[in-house]
Structure 1
């Protein structure tokens, strides 16, 4: 029976400390940066609410107002009758923010990557993808039926060799995360731009973890580095720094028209509720005007990363709010996460296949809602757990 093989596979996952289960966490609106689980208040060091906007009253009010006017749902796909007024307002604001001709909103980042890649590449084409790119990029390449040329993480010479190998393909697309979601390091965007010019390829950058965080007004890493005009397809999410839900793609008018006609997830999905879109427009205004949130976020991130590094942990390189504490062993990573929860900290263990075998980790994610006092206390607890579980000792020996 089909159930029997499922049970066996689940038993194997459980034995390898790889089975996943849903856990219910409850936000605490009056205490940003904290959540409830099992009746206990926990410092939230796992969410992607980088700017602390998820509980912002102005966003909630904008959503409530739109809900009363537009109703609970859009009722249809955007190309039928689901394209309500808030969509146009948000897309106009996104295009101005990114200094692009036009923008297009998708249901979420996964759907955006799948839709865009499969709309731009197909049989006879090749997509070059960083080894550490998000799963949605990998799945988008698979669904496109284009050839998948996967290059080693941030290895520009390996990418160059692959581009040369596939130089005669019809279309060539290079896709990369701007900030890699499990390691927190940056893509080598300048080198990628030079290669895309040399081999006449398109470049798509996923700013899911950098939008709202980098740039004078949170425009993202490409613009912060002065490279925005060299990126052909600029994608970002609305569920992290924005604190709401959804995704966007910005580019020239031709690109956006093409996606409206060829991106199947957009064409065949019901539109997001207009109230979400209205809330996101308010979030975009806050991202552009409340610069103190980015300043506080980078101060917190630098302090937390350097404190863990000085304590002896392996936290990788980077300046982003994503701080991975590499443990290696799956079971020990789960033990570490459980011990953190006992100490009042929510920090989830990340295991394969999300990360490579042997690199299980606690992926800490900082927020502007976190104070240095809270993080100082957290570091003390993390160090104590690391010593008890032998993680610090193993890092010292590596």
Structure 2
């Protein structure tokens, strides 16, 4: 047998045997409330396009304008010739809005998180993470030179017990947790990290744009300013990419030493140009957040009495079923009734908590929420 063939085949067989095999589906209009797959139409409740910007024609037009000015690609890394006026203007828009001195752009939230932990931490440092943090943070922490600890999810007392007075500490949490839809107690976490040798970093991928009066996210809602704020553009902004917000010195440090930034081709300037418009839309079009609040109320009204229902203040609505096979069956039944929901199973979530990750967007309607509830109740009755 070839060098890696046995390992590959064994891993794939085990994944299928345990009911955890993942598949990809070719869909059309996956960034809209109605998608198509294999010639059939479904109401899409699996999109992270919370504010409905991904197919908004004003944003599409902005990207087209950017293409006409800047062309398709950046042509190089930011440190060579890939940094344009569009990138500089996007950084300025982010810093003015979110109240930081620097914004460093990345191709994805995954690379931003990894760049942050790989670059900032030293072997004498202590990294403390919420145990439900995203895989990009956990992997980067495990591979970083720092000593990594994990505190119980959203447990401030447990976090505080891990802090000491000597080492440099970096505490990292998400603002909104992507699989549970719950919010970190940021005010309390910020309070216990108020010391010169303790920094707080917040990955607000699922909070930015959705929470806060101006859409400034979890930190605006909690009225805190962490030393590091990571925002991504692939959810509420309707596009892709990410930025690390920080002070001027930290920004200079990341620009010099973050390999994900220095050695990666810069995001297309047309994309940066369009993202400036997305930033403005997020701030000015508060009706999108108001619509999400309204839809969340309908969701609770229609499904709140069911045992798998989880109440959240975000568009992420996990519906916990338990076992992987049952979750797959419920998702399949919903799909047979025209509802596209995704079954989330271990290792993405802990064993025994397999769920449907239902997400709402401002493009949904009350009638679509009602249709979801009917399909889900029928699927649960068929278990």
**C-alpha separation in 2, matches of 1:28 and 1:132:** 27
Per-residue CA distance 1:264-295 (angstroms, 9 max, x = gap): 10111111111211111111111111110000
Aligned to 2:214: 217
Match of 1:382 in 2: 376
Cα shift at 1:134: 0.6
Alpha-carbon contact 1:183-1:322 (below 8 Å) kept: yes
CA contact (8 A) 2:30 2:47 kept: no
Unaligned runs of 5+ in 2: none
Given the alignment of the two structures, is residue 197 of structure 1 paired with residue 194 of structure 2, yes or no?
A: yes
Change (3 A) 1:66 1:327: same
Q: Alignment partner of 1:211: what SS?
A: coil
- Alpha-carbon distance change, 224 to 262 in structure 1, aligned in 2, over 3 angstroms: same
- Residue deviations 1:83-135 (CA, integer Å, cap 9, x gap): 12210111111111102222121111000000112221121111100011111
Structure 2: how far apart are the matches of 1:139 and 1:315? 30
Offset at residue 69 of structure 1 (A): 2.3
1:370 corresponds, among 353, 364, 383, to 364
SS at match of 2:79: helix
- Matching residue of 1:87: 87
2:232/2:241 contact within 8 Å kept? yes
Whether the aligned pair in 2 keeps the contact of 1:305 and 1:323 (CA below 8 Å) is: no
Aligned position for 1:345: 339
Q: Which residue of 2 aligns with 1:10?
A: 12
- Hey, what's the Cα distance between the residues in 2 that align with 1:154 and 1:127? 16
Shift, 1:65, TM fit: 1.7
The answer to whether the aligner puts 1:111 opposite 2:117 as a matched pair is no
Contact 2:30 2:44 in 1 (8 A): no
Aligned pairs for 1:131-150 within 5 A: 131-150=131-150
**Could you tell me whether the CA contact under 8 Å between 1:163 and 1:199 is conserved in 2?**
no
DSSP 3-state at the match of 2:304? helix
Q: What stretches of structure 1 of length at least 5 have no aligned partner?
A: 390-398
* 2:90/2:273 contact within 8 Å kept: yes
Which stretch of the first structure deviates more once superposed, 178-187 or 300-309? 300-309
Give yes or no for contact 1:90–1:281 (8 Å, CA) kept in 2. yes
Q: SS in structure 1 opposite 2:25?
A: coil
The 8 Å contact of residues 114 and 143 in structure 1, kept in 2 or not, is answered as no
Instruction: After TM superposition, give the deviation of residue 221 of structure 1 in Å.
Output: 1.3
- Residue 200 of structure 1, CA deviation: 3.4
Deviation at 1:28, TM superposition (A): 7.2
Query: Is 1:254 matched with 2:249?
Result: yes
Q: CA deviation at 1:316?
A: 2.8
In 2: Cα distance, 1:141 partner to 1:295 partner:
37
Distance 1:182 1:195 in 2: 26
Aligned residues: 381
Match of 1:394 in 2: none
1:40 counterpart residue number: 40
1:278 to 262, 265, 273: 273
Moved more, 141-150 or 287-296: 141-150
After TM superposition, the runs of 4+ consecutive aligned structure 1 residues lying more than 6 A away are none
Matches within 5 A, 1:22-171: 22-27=24-29, 32-164=32-164, 167-169=165-167, 171=168
Name the SS of the counterpart of 1:111 in structure 2.
helix
SS in 1 for 2:100: coil
RMSD (CA atoms): 1.4
Offset of 1:305 from its aligned partner?
A: 3.5
Q: How far did residue 199 of structure 1 move?
A: 7.7
Q: How far apart, CA to CA, are the structure 2 residues paired with 1:21 and 1:88?
A: 39
What per-residue deviation string (whole Å, max 9, x for no partner) do you get for residues 143-193 of structure 1? 3221110111111221122113xx432x21000000110000111111111
Contact kept in structure 2, 1:173 and 1:203, CA below 8 Å: yes
What's the offset of the Cα at 1:22?
1.5
Mean alpha-carbon deviation: is it higher for 45-54 or for 18-27? Answer: 18-27
Normalised TM-score (structure 1): 0.93
Aligned to 2:302: 307
Q: Deviations over 1:296-321 (max 9, x none)?
A: 011112321443222x1323342111
| Local SS of the residue matching 2:313 | coil
Deviations along 1:233-262, one digit per CA (max 9) or x if unpaired, are 011100100001101111221121111112
Distance 1:200 1:315, change over 3 A: farther
Deviations 1:170-226 (A, max 9, x none): x21000000110000111111111111158310001110010001111001111221
* CA–CA separation in structure 1 for the residues paired with 2:255 and 2:288: 34
Q: Please state whether the residue corresponding to 1:257 is helix, strand or coil.
A: helix
Q: Distance in 1 between matches of 2:243 and 2:255?
A: 12
